[in-house]
Amino acid sequence: MPTGNVRDTTGAGANRWLHMQKTSQREWVNRMANSKYIDYETDSYSNGPLVELLEERVASLLGKEKALFFHKGSICCLAALMAAAEKRDNKQVILHPKSHIHMDETNSYQTVGSLKGNLIGDDLPFDFNMVQQVENKASVLTVELPLRRVGFQLTPWDELEKMHAWCKENDVHFHMDGARLWESAHYYGKSVADIASLFDSVYVSLYKGLAGIGGAVLAGDADFIEDCKTWRARLGGLHWTLFPMLVTGLDGLDNELPKISGYAERALAISKELKQNSRIRIDKPVHVNAFQILVRGDIETINAKRSELIRERGYWPVRCFRATSDPEWQFVEFEVGYGSEEITNDEVVEFFSLLLPELPES
C-alpha cells in the first residue's frame, strides 16, 4: 500500500501546472496589488476589517454562528481539539491513524496538547460501527473530509449522520478537518453548509482549493469559537500582520470557489482515460478533485522519465512517484486545481502514455 509523505518541489522547465501552480514572489505581489481587497486597513494580531470580512463570510458559507481566522490549519485543528477537550475535562479523542492530525503533524495533539488518541480505521475512512466500539469515553470525534492518505476517500453520508447523532447523544464534540471540504461538496451533492451542519466545528483551508498564499478558518458556535481564541493565542497563532493570507484568501472565495466542482468532474473524467493503460491502477473511486494512481515499473526509471517529460513538454501534471510496500508498484497523488485550465485532458493522457508505455503481451 502507499506509504509516506511527499514534499516534491521538482518541476524544472514547467510553466503550466495541473494543481497548486508554482507562483513566484513577484507574481504573488502582483496578484495582491490587483486585488479589490488590497486597500483595506492592515490587520494587526488577527484584528481588522479584512479579518472580520473573511470570518463573517466563511461563517455564512458554512452556516455557523462564528468563525475564527488562523495562519495555519494544524494550529486551527489543535485549538479546536484542545478547546473541546478542556470544556469536557477529557483528553480522549477519536481519529483515524492516517488522518492529517495524527500522521502529518508530528504527533502535536499528543505531545503539545497532551491529548490521548484512540485510533480507528485502516485503508478506508472509519464507519459508525468502529466509533461505537471505542472503549474510552471521548471528548472529540474527528473526521477528515476527504481522507487524503487513503486515496482522498469520503465518509458515506449516512455514516456521518449516524456519527452526528451519536455525538449529540453522548456529549462528544464532532470536529471536521475540512482542508478539502470545498472539494467534497460536489460528490455529496450538498452545499458546504449542509455538510457542516452535521459537525460542531469545521476547519477549512484558504490555500488548497482556493489558491491563497496560506491560512485557515475555524467555524462553530459563538461560545466555542470564543474558547478557541484563547487556544489560538496559547499555540502561537497571533501575528503582527497576515494580510497576504487575508487578501488572497478572499480572492480565492471570489474567484476559485466557483470552479472547484469542475475540478472534481475533470478529475473523474481523466481517471477513466488513465485506467485504459495496463500499467496504471486506480483502485478506489474518485470522490473529489484528487485520487491515487498506482503504476507498475522501476521507481527511479519512472521518476527520471517524468522529469525529462516535464522539461520537454513544459507542463507539470504530477509530483514524483513514491514507493509502496510492493516493489513492483509505485504511487502518486493526482490532483486538479488552480491553473489546470492551461493543460488539456489530452495532454495529461499523452504524458502518462509516454511515461508508461504499454508493455508487450507475454
Q: In the chain, what are the domain boundaries? A: 25-255, 258-355
Check if 25-255 and 258-355 are the same fold.
Answer: no
Backbone angle region of 315, left / alpha / beta, with phi > 0 → left and psi within -120 to 50 → alpha: beta
How much is the pTM? 0.94
Residues 249 and 206: beta-carbon distance below 8 Å: yes
Dihedral Cα 58, 64, 70, 74, nearest 10 deg: -110
Q: Which CATH number fits domain 25-255: 3.40.640.10, 3.10.105.10, 3.40.50.1010, 3.40.1480.10?
A: 3.40.640.10
* CATH architecture, domain defined by 258-355: Alpha-Beta Complex (3.90)
- Rounded Cα gap, residues 35 and 29, in angstroms: 10
What's the DSSP call for residue 215? -
Residue with cell 516534491: 8
Residues 256 and 210: beta-carbon distance below 8 Å: yes
Residues 73 and 105: beta-carbon distance below 8 Å: no
| pLDDT tens, N- to C-terminus, the chain (362 residues) | 554 444 455 566 788 999 988 899 999 999 999 999 999 999 999 999 999 999 999 999 999 999 999 999 999 999 999 999 999 999 999 999 999 999 999 999 999 999 999 999 999 999 999 999 999 999 999 999 999 999 999 999 999 999 999 999 999 999 999 999 999 999 999 999 999 999 999 999 999 999 999 999 999 999 999 999 999 999 999 999 999 999 999 999 999 999 999 999 999 999 999 999 999 999 999 999 999 999 999 999 999 999 999 999 999 999 999 999 999 999 999 999 998 999 999 999 999 999 999 655 54
Distance from first CA to last CA of the chain, Å, rounded?
26
